[in-house]
Structure 1
Amino acid sequence: MSEIFHLLHDAGHAGHRGVLATITALTKPGARAIGAHMAVLEGGESAGSFSSGCVEQAIIAEALAALDEGASRSVRFGEGSRYIDIRLPCGGGMDVSFLVDPAGDVLAQAIDRLDTRQPVALRLDPAGHLALPHDPGATATGWNDGVFTVRHDPRLRLVLLGHGPEMLTSLKLARTFGAEVALYSPDDAIVAAGLAKGTMAVHLLSAADPPALEGDPWTAFLFLFHDHDWEPALIRQALETPAFWIGAMGSRATHAARRAALAAHGLAETAIARIHGPVGVIAGARDPMTLGLSALTEIVGAYHALG
């Protein structure tokens, strides 16, 4: 989402005009959710999408028409639209708000909030004004008193901790998905591989005295250690964060032993119960790619369930 705001903000800063297009209603489930955005610049450059390609050119054309007129507008596409030649794959209708020349200071604040991993909410009123609510954390996407508000949470942050081939396959999958990734490993080759890909990577030197871990409500911790002596101090730190998901690789027997070891280290049962294990949606996954995909699927599902 941040790249859409960046495109509009940077264009405006350079003296170019643009339009923020936002899905404000759907009559049937569509390819994109309510609150999805596209950015369209005066030269026709765009970012974002609302479908698999069946409506984007019409969105760009409508945005350019709004720019020419100098007025924001709302347009229906699909079912019930004046665009009789455009049919959405879902067969439904989609209402799109076209906000001409969105306020640069508001876009800058939205970018800053997302870049610093804070939720952001944007209010789009019928008059074409863009604003930030005072409490984005308490704001939900939808209509209220004739004003549409859309909330965006920080993107998924995945912290990978461990060693072995599962680390690099999980890193590859998470980066492909678009997650922000951090990596902690006692294996200097894995750390070097992470750094080479532009990933934050930390070399673990001591199981008893590891570096500090940080997590927020949009962070997941995935432990991929074969040597479980590395786990207790690191898991304790992860449990002290508001991370939405914490999980560790291993069989049911391994996880039972892990729980017992953590209890012996003084962790409360309520805290230990937060740890997912065995991880993943594919039971018994063993090869690194399948295990990584299985775990990432569970994590992404939990992330989207945050609402």
Structure 2
Amino acid sequence: MAITDAPEDVLRFLAARGSAGERTALVTLTGIEGSTSRGIGTIMAVAEDGACAGSFSGGCIEKAVVAEAIDAIRDGDARLVRFGAGSPYIDIRLPCGSGIDLLFSPLPPAAPVGAALELLAARKPVCLALDRDGRVGIDPLPQGAMLSRWIGEAFALVIAPPLRIVLIGQGEELTGTARLAACYGARVEAYTPDEGNAALLRTEGIAVQHLRSSRTLPDISPDPWSALLFLFHDRDWEEHLVAQALKDDYFYIGALGSRKTHEGRLTLLEAQGVSAELRARLRGPIGMIPATRDPQMLALSVLGEVAACYRDAVMVGVQAKVEQCE
């Protein structure tokens, strides 16, 4: 189970409740005055019975948002409402003293919600156009950075595919990183030559396949929203696989090892004819915490770095190839 609801989870809530014949509303954060704990484009879904997915303030205004959403569902009218500073609701305040603008889109049709989920499942970004009059539809992605924003009278809600982390390796470095990444909410895929590691991850519901060859990379279907980590202490397993992976469109490619190990790995890649441009894509040593030797600490360190790079990749925008974040 993920730590919190991701945008995809909020859309799934809308789809599930709609399929059950329940009326719902999509609520979107479209403006901020001051500083808040959520960013523009954050979404929340509310059903007529008060059930909801997502949040805007960690509990400060959620009850008021749910009440407003239920009212919008019942009268069928879209609305843009300010909460916090400058709001007509003087009894509802954010502790930080800020104000946020929420667009309530009641009764979102099933077709665009379903289409958005299909695009995200296919690892493609999506743009939902939300009009002030309540229309919800799929639009082409805006040019430039993947930022949700007002474009004319419609709000472009841009949602990137969720973070996907592909792990190739063995040992506790592999299992620990896979477990933590799954808990975080990333889509995790593991490949390992160790049947014991594979069996353990399968019992925890993590997608894992047996790695049979050290010379041919598995069919992973790379995309710009995915990270690839090599977690081997035995470098014989990665020698050819890393060279192949550097040609693919991952936003992050990293390999386990010390600075000295990484320098040796780069020398070996150069000897294999891998270009300097491709070699520069390989990160090492990996992680935000230097020289950690504890598998648990390594997992936390690496996941933090990968998550930060994913955020930067989303901010950069849709490109044929996403540049490796610095």
Q: Which of 195-204 and 110-119 deviates more? A: 195-204
For residue 137 of structure 1, report the CA deviation from its aligned partner: 7.4
1:197 equivalent in structure 2: 204
Mapped contact 1:247–1:276 kept (Cα < 8 A): yes
**Whole-angstrom distance in 2 between the partners of 1:117 and 1:215:** 10
Aligned letter for 2:72?
A
Q: Percent identity?
A: 42
**Structure-to-structure mapping, 1:5-84, within 5 angstroms:** 5-84=11-90
Matched position secondary structure for 2:49: coil
1:234 equivalent in structure 2: 241
The one-character-per-residue Cα deviations of 1:247-294 (angstroms, maximum 9, x if unpaired) are 111111000000111112221111011000001111111100111111
Cα–Cα, structure 1 residues 252 and 87, in superposed 2: closer, same or farther, change >3 Å?
same
For residue 181 of structure 1, report the CA deviation from its aligned partner: 0.5
Aligned pair partner of 2:264 in 252, 257, 263: 257
2:4 equivalent in structure 1: none
The one-character-per-residue Cα deviations of 1:209-267 (angstroms, maximum 9, x if unpaired) are 34333310001011110000111222123212110000111111000000111112221
**Whole-angstrom distance in 2 between the partners of 1:89 and 1:240:** 48
**Whole-angstrom distance in 2 between the partners of 1:295 and 1:270:** 23
TM-score by length of 1: 0.96
Mapped contact 1:120–1:137 kept (Cα < 8 A): no
**Whole-angstrom distance in 1 between the partners of 2:294 and 2:187:** 24
Cα–Cα, structure 1 residues 16 and 287, in superposed 2: closer, same or farther, change >3 Å?
same
**Whole-angstrom distance in 2 between the partners of 1:13 and 1:206:** 44
The reply to whether residue 289 of structure 1 matches residue 296 of structure 2 is yes
Matched position secondary structure for 1:132: strand
**Whole-angstrom distance in 1 between the partners of 2:216 and 2:164:** 23
Mapped contact 1:214–1:238 kept (Cα < 8 A): no
The reply to whether residue 114 of structure 1 matches residue 113 of structure 2 is no
Cα–Cα, structure 1 residues 140 and 209, in superposed 2: closer, same or farther, change >3 Å?
closer
1:85 equivalent in structure 2: 91
Cα–Cα, structure 1 residues 209 and 238, in superposed 2: closer, same or farther, change >3 Å?
closer
Cα–Cα, structure 1 residues 188 and 248, in superposed 2: closer, same or farther, change >3 Å?
same
**Whole-angstrom distance in 1 between the partners of 2:108 and 2:213:** 50
**Whole-angstrom distance in 1 between the partners of 2:142 and 2:149:** 13
**Whole-angstrom distance in 2 between the partners of 1:194 and 1:267:** 33
The reply to whether residue 219 of structure 1 matches residue 226 of structure 2 is yes
**Whole-angstrom distance in 2 between the partners of 1:106 and 1:248:** 40
Mapped contact 1:213–1:237 kept (Cα < 8 A): no
The reply to whether residue 126 of structure 1 matches residue 149 of structure 2 is no
Mapped contact 1:160–1:183 kept (Cα < 8 A): yes
Aligned pair partner of 2:159 in 139, 152, 162: 152
TM-score by length of 2: 0.91
2:318 equivalent in structure 1: none
Aligned letter for 1:105?
A
The one-character-per-residue Cα deviations of 1:76-102 (angstroms, maximum 9, x if unpaired) are 000011222222133200000110101
Mapped contact 1:75–1:95 kept (Cα < 8 A): yes
Aligned letter for 2:76?
G
Relative contact order, CA 8 A, sep 6+: which one is greater?
A: 2
Aligned letter for 1:140?
L
Cα–Cα, structure 1 residues 302 and 60, in superposed 2: closer, same or farther, change >3 Å?
same
The reply to whether residue 102 of structure 1 matches residue 108 of structure 2 is yes
Matched position secondary structure for 1:305: helix
Matched position secondary structure for 2:27: strand
Aligned letter for 2:140?
H
2:324 equivalent in structure 1: none
Aligned letter for 2:71?
A
The one-character-per-residue Cα deviations of 1:94-135 (angstroms, maximum 9, x if unpaired) are 000110101110111011111111101111111110111134
